[in-house]
Amino acid sequence: MHKDEFHLKFFMCVIQSRQLVRTPQRTAGEASTSSMLIPKPPPKTDILKSLDTMDDPDTVGSIPVFKTEWIMTHEEHHAAKTLGIGKAIAVLTSGGDAQGMNAAVRAVVRVGIFTGARVFFVHEGYQGLVDGGDHIKEATWESVSMMLQLGGTVIGSARCKDFREREGRLRAAYNLVKRGITNLCVIGGDGSLTGADTFRSEWSDLLSDLQKAGKITDEEATKSSYLNIVGLVGSIDNDFCGTDMTIGTDSALHRIMEIVDAITTTAQSHQRTFVLEVMGRHCGYLALVTSLSCGADWVFIPECPPDDDWEEHLCRRLSETRTRGSRLNIIIVAEGAIDKNGKPITSEDIKNLVVKRLGYDTRVTVLGHVQRGGTPSAFDRILVSHWAVWPSCLETLNLVVLPPQVETVAVLPPQTKDVTKAMDEKKFDEALKLRGRSFMNNWEVYKLLAHVRPPVSKSGSHTVAVMNVGAPAAGMNAAVRSTVRIGLIQGNRVLVVHDGFEGLAKGQIEEAGWSYVGGWTGQGGSKLGTKRTLPKKSFEQISANITKFNIQGLVIIGGFEAYTGGLELMEGRKQFDELCIPFVVIPATVSNNVPGSDFSVGADTALNTICTTCDRIKQSAAGTKRRVFIIETMGGYCGYLATMAGLAAGADAAYIFEEPFTIRDLQANVEHLVQKMKTTVKRGLVLRNEKCNENYTTDFIFNLYSEEGKGIFDSRKNVLGHMQQGGSPTPFDRNFATKMGAKAMNWMSGKIKESYRNGRIFANTPDSGCVLGMRKRALVFQPVAELKDQTDFEHRIPKEQWWLKLRPILKILAKYEIDLDTSDHAHLEHITRKRSGEAAV
């Protein structure tokens, strides 16, 4: 194959049902010799029925379930660390800044250097690409140190009018060609990626014009005959169709919720109504998820304008809330909110309405650019670190391999502009659908919790009990609130059980009304109380109380004890007919170790707590210099927190039980830090899962590092302890828990009806006792009995854990010499790319 043709055979990847499908790029005779990639993370309706089809929660606040599968021959695998030799990559940030952009830049630079490529910063976005000169500088490993936790974009961003003109793009092409840069990573929003796509489509013509003008030589034109572009979508509005989460969205939600929580306290004190305006000129995502996360009374978003009589409905809703005992009202407004006629609905309009009709003390708070500021969340750091690894390998073997469930497309998704067009034409149902299933699910759950009144009569209703089991986890209260209120909306009688199975045995049970769980969404810990006690020893007492309180279904929210307790209940059915009632387990534990679910409620909050602590510790180490910190995290035998915190905080090592290590590995880590101290980065961070090794304890590792690092660095240790279980839940945990509770109660109502026989509930089938878990893209119910074979009971962890395949990224970013191949092979199919005008692959 001719060299030029080889370069033009750039492969696009489309992920379909966890299989990687690669598509040859256009050949030399076709119109374009460049390519554009946009990574896409996993995605995240009559109203009650919609909960049955609500398959996935938002991937907000924790890393999506990426099961990375690399496709390489043995030779390619062996040569992974030299794949980028002779190549050059440029990275720029453009448009509005978003938290997480720096983490993306860091990952692109470090993995690019890891592969042997030269990596260049382009300062001030496209303007720097056009101006050239000192705006394009080569990056080093150390130059991206301490960027991970910084908000904004260190390399700068600017709105560039010059790049919108062909003359500006011609200058940009010249600057890339002269530096031998044939790979470009653009981190930005809709406008930035539209500009990148235009640049891509014109590349051949731009080279031709530069050649004719004598600005570049024939040899330079040949070497730069192709341009590979990867787009990483950075926008806090999450307004880009084709991806369910954009860089910065989760961090912006963190800023919003911090303010909402603070305002809630003052609003309660003075019985006020607060109208909070958040960003989202054309997209209501931030407003919608905020409303779910704080239990707002009302939300206004541009995609779903309120009915014509919304003023009457809103005032009635606020009045009913106060009548039920609430001391405050919260209304969330997206800055682009409109009515069905396209007329803007402003926060001042809403305030004036509430004051005039209800006479409530009402205040307006416009959050503004505070939503763009601050440190990125753990989710944004991990997401972009994962995304940005693949652009750095862009041209290595003329094969781009992106994480499964990541869709790559040759042109920008048209839906982004279609949404705006649909709203302009007042086709709001169409606009809502174009936003995607996740957005629609959020909207339906919001409508259910905020707009549907619970029935007055409970005739013919069922009785469902809700309880917490195991260690406390942030988000448990949000799950209880959602479960209780959805149950009441369905006409059920809902009981709450205090202190887990122990309380169920002792009869610590009471009925919950709508106001009972008011304000629970943002509260950490467990308001019901939770204990690790298992039910087996108290079957008689539990059976008696099930009969006494006429409990017909049980929702168990908790960790591994909740799962094992469910297994014991299944076994107990053989002896006690009273235990033959449906039950569902909602995983809630900081350890994220419940079989049947890739994520647990509470794990994201714990992860962010660890990251915040590590950021402060690193800052301390940066001041004192030549210092290494050993941090012990929770998790039992599960290394999820240590691994993910290591990725999010930029750790040099993370010791976990699932990846056994020896004294030689510890010695290698010490030597690695010794070499690191010879650079300009004179600090180290090591994480250790609390039960990773019974002999290599935190004290042992601390003493080892202290002894071996004498004269080079000193060591400190910190055991984070139970602070990881405390604090207010993150937006992800609030939203995840809310949707899990709604899904669980809807399933419970159906299962009770299904189990009604001869005037009583009798459920003894395997599928009447389930774990509700997140598996890849979906929320699924899995019988607890079927999960036994997937469980390592001795160590209280699932036998297979998806996040283990992210560990090589942690090591690469810490500058370890490892192989780039990270997992199993998947099947490749060759397919023909559609020509323009045909349907996209």
CATH number at residue 619: 3.40.50.460
In this predicted model, which residue has the larger pLDDT, 778 or 92? 92
**Rounded to 5°, angle at Cα 839 from 837 and 841:** 130
- 181 and 265 both lie in a single domain: no
pLDDT band of residue 607 (cuts 50, 70, 90) is: very high
Handedness of CA 213, 216, 220, 224 (dihedral sign): negative
Domain count, the chain: 4
Distances from the Cα of 836 to the Cαs of 32, 71, 319, 411, in angstroms? 11, 28, 56, 10
For residues 80 and 57, give the distance between their C-alpha atoms in angstroms, rounded to a whole number: 36
Same domain, 363 and 399: no
Q: Are residues 543 and 653 in the same domain?
A: no
Domain assignment of residue 238, given as a range: 75-245+376-412
Residue 297 lies in a domain: yes
Q: What is the mean pLDDT of the chain?
A: 84
Binding site listing: 96, 159-160, 189-192, 235-237, 272, 279-281, 335, 363, 369-372, 532, 589-593, 627, 634-636, 690, 716, 722-725, 796
- pLDDT in the model for residue 414: 55
Q: CA–CA separation, 574 vs 576, rounded Å?
A: 6
Per-residue pLDDT at 62:
40
Q: For residue 325, count other CB atoms closer than 10 A to its CB.
A: 11
Which residues, including other chains, have CB under 8 Å from residue 753's CB and lie 6 or more apart? Answer: 462
pLDDT of residue 36: 53
351 and 394 share one domain: no
Of 727, 754, 771, the residue at which a domain comes to its end is: 727
Do the Cβ atoms of 773 and 596 come closer than 8 Å? yes
d(CA 67, CA 572) in angstroms, rounded, equals 37
Query: Residues within the annotated binding site for substrate?
Result: 235-237, 272, 279-281, 335, 363, 369-372
| Binding-site positions for Mg(2+) | 190
63 in a structural domain: no
Place of tokens 């490749």: 828
- What phi, psi does 339 have (nearest 5°)? -95, -175
User: Residues with catalytic annotation?
Assistant: 237
341 and 197 housed in the same domain: no
User: What is the C-alpha separation between 318 and 335, in angstroms, rounded?
Assistant: 21
High-pLDDT (> 90) share of the chain, % = 66
Q: With beta carbons less than 8 A apart as the criterion, state whether 484 and 517 touch.
A: yes
* 710 and 621 share one domain: yes
686, 705, 727 — which closes off a domain?
727
d(CA 92, CA 157): 8
The phi, psi pair for 774, rounded to 5°, reads: -95, 115
pLDDT value of position 415: 61
Specify the pLDDT at position 742.
95
Same domain for 256 and 232: no
- DSSP SS3 for 558: strand
Q: Are residues 723 and 739 in the same domain?
A: no
Binned at pLDDT 50, 70 and 90, residue 841 comes out as very low
Over range 260-286, report the average pLDDT.
92
Instruction: For residue 294, give the nearest of 437, 448, 449, 453 by alpha carbon.
Output: 449
Residue 802 within a domain: no
The pLDDT of residue 23: 31
Same domain, yes or no, for 187 and 81? yes
The answer to the question of residue 542 being in a domain is: yes
Q: Residue 139 domain-assigned?
A: yes
Cβ–Cβ < 8 Å for 195, 126? yes
SS3 (DSSP) at 501: helix
Contact of 64 with 814, CB cutoff 8 Å: no
Q: Is residue 455 part of a domain?
A: no
Of 836 and 365, the structure prediction assigns the larger pLDDT to 365
Residue 734: inside a domain: yes
Both 397 and 534 in a single domain?
Answer: no
277 in any annotated domain: yes
On the question of pLDDT at 27 being above 60, the answer is no
Picking from 818, 473, 777, 801, the residue whose alpha carbon sits closest to that of residue 643 is: 801
CATH of the domain at 772: 3.40.50.450
Say if residues 441 and 435 touch (Cβ distance below 8 Å): no
- Of 689, 706, 727, which residue sits at a domain end? 727
232, 260: one domain: no
Asked whether residue 571 falls in the same domain as residue 711, the answer is: no
5 alpha carbon, distance to own chain's centre = 39
* pLDDT band with cut points at 50, 70 and 90 for residue 159: confident
Annotated binding site for beta-D-fructose 2,6-bisphosphate: 532, 589-593, 627, 634-636, 690, 716, 722-725, 796
From residue 735, alpha-carbon distances to 298, 494, 743 in Å are 16, 21, 12
CA distances (Å), origin 713, targets 626, 628, 676:
5, 7, 10
Q: Mean pLDDT throughout 529-534? A: 96
